[in-house]
Structure 1
């Protein structure tokens, strides 16, 4: 049995400002340490249940997790594979479940001071089939494409509520609530214990796959109209407003490839 963990940092308990998410910023080292501890708590739970664990560092340059924090036997994927898999790079159909740690609210929502989707400076929002998309919802679609259920999510309250709508039966742990530029956080140790117990519960229940759609219409609202015009040259994409590009994909893989080339990320 195998579990894939995709890890981010903005949804980790305590993390509140952009400086804490970037090299050299105030609080960055502390945020990385808590990110590692939350991932370790999930790994410990999965290992206890007999799972092999693979972790994908999914933040910034994907070099945030300290391998020495993780239990022996865990495999850590660092850096980027320069592929449309992005934060899910390394996942395939051999895995039995996906877990998401430290995730955050989507761009276009007000439920986190760090709300963004892929890149805060580039996009106002992304939508798939008319619904606001998050990094979690897109990554869960990618997992479902491989036949792997998404069973657990931790992060701010906003992304947890969103995740429960995307994946009925998803087990979530809200590490914090957010108002404006503030966060109201779980104690770090309490977050670790809730993640450990949540992962155990998630891996011991049956979670259904996201139902596939006949097609996937992706809309990207760029902050700068020049970037929208540039993206509109992708084959099949069209400019529907000065800052909005739309692309209709035949399946999830086509969707993610289009997203990669239109965003340049």
Structure 2
């Protein structure tokens, strides 16, 4: 069994402020270690149910947060960024049997996490077909494009609720909840136990219902905090400027949507 794991840090238990997610800050090391441990808990579970190969994308900021020494030997870790339009799931293709998301967070405009954002801090909101788009949704559509079942996600409660609405067959573990500029976090060790337990559990039955059909057409609205950004990115081919801070891109090809997102975010 070949499995893909994409990992972020803003949905890891404990992370609350931006300095805890930035390599140059002293508070970062504890959170990057917890990110590594949560990824490892996922990998341990995957190996217990028979994974042959696990590909992991370190998908936060520099892409250099996870300590590979803590992970099983049958893992391969993608560090930094190649420039692929698949971004947080670069290297994903139809050869994978499942994909899992660790440490993911609520989207821009959400109050469910003080670190809520979508791909870029210059964006106040992104919608795809009028649905607020999280980083999970953007990359879930890539999984759907390749027909790779989405097995599991851990992160903040707001995103877990969103994922359950997207597809109730996807197992989720909420390790934190945001309230204003604060977070309520479960114990780090409990997070590891719940991730391992629920990853094992979701694979006890076939993942046939863990995929959805990709939409036939995409209307993507990007709202920026700064009107200058909206003006700049309205120059992308096919983009319409809706108002001073909002641009729109439409296509029936999700690959073209990804090109737009990678250029404009």
Secondary structure at 2:198 match in 1: helix
Distance 1:231 1:168 in 2: 36
Distance 1:212 1:63 in 2: 31
Runs of 4+ in 1 over 6 A off after TM superposition: none
**TM-score after normalising by structure 1:** 0.96
Identify the residue that residue 157 of structure 2 maps to in structure 1: 157
Structural RMSD (CA): 1.0
Distance 1:242 1:46 in 2: 47
2:235 to 230, 233, 236: 233
Q: Deviations over 1:128-183 (max 9, x none)?
A: 00010000011100111011011100001011011111223110000011111111
Equivalent pair of 1:150/1:167 in contact (CA under 8 Å): no
Identify the residue that residue 83 of structure 1 maps to in structure 2: 84
Identify the residue that residue 32 of structure 1 maps to in structure 2: 32
Identify the residue that residue 55 of structure 1 maps to in structure 2: 56
Equivalent pair of 1:3/1:53 in contact (CA under 8 Å): yes
2:218 to 209, 213, 216: 216
Please tell me whether residue 42 in structure 1 is matched to residue 42 in structure 2: yes
Consecutive unaligned residues in structure 2, runs of 5 or more: none
Tell me the CA shift for residue 223 of structure 1: 1.0
Identify the residue that residue 243 of structure 1 maps to in structure 2: 245
2:263 to 244, 261, 264: 261
Distance 1:7 1:147 in 2: 20
Identify the residue that residue 118 of structure 1 maps to in structure 2: 119
Equivalent pair of 2:59/2:88 in contact (CA under 8 Å): yes
Q: Deviations over 1:26-82 (max 9, x none)?
A: 420000000000000000111111112110000001000011011111110101010
Consecutive unaligned residues in structure 1, runs of 5 or more: none
Q: Deviations over 1:82-126 (max 9, x none)?
A: 021000011111001110000011111101111111122x10010
Tell me the CA shift for residue 254 of structure 1: 1.5
**Cα separation, partners in 2 of 1:168 and 1:249, compared to 1, 3 Å:** farther
Give the aligned length.
262
Distance 1:69 1:240 in 2: 48
Identify the residue that residue 9 of structure 1 maps to in structure 2: 9
Distance 2:39 2:79 in 1: 14
Q: Which moved more, 1:254-263 or 1:13-22?
A: 254-263
Secondary structure at 1:240 match in 2: strand
Tell me the CA shift for residue 212 of structure 1: 1.8
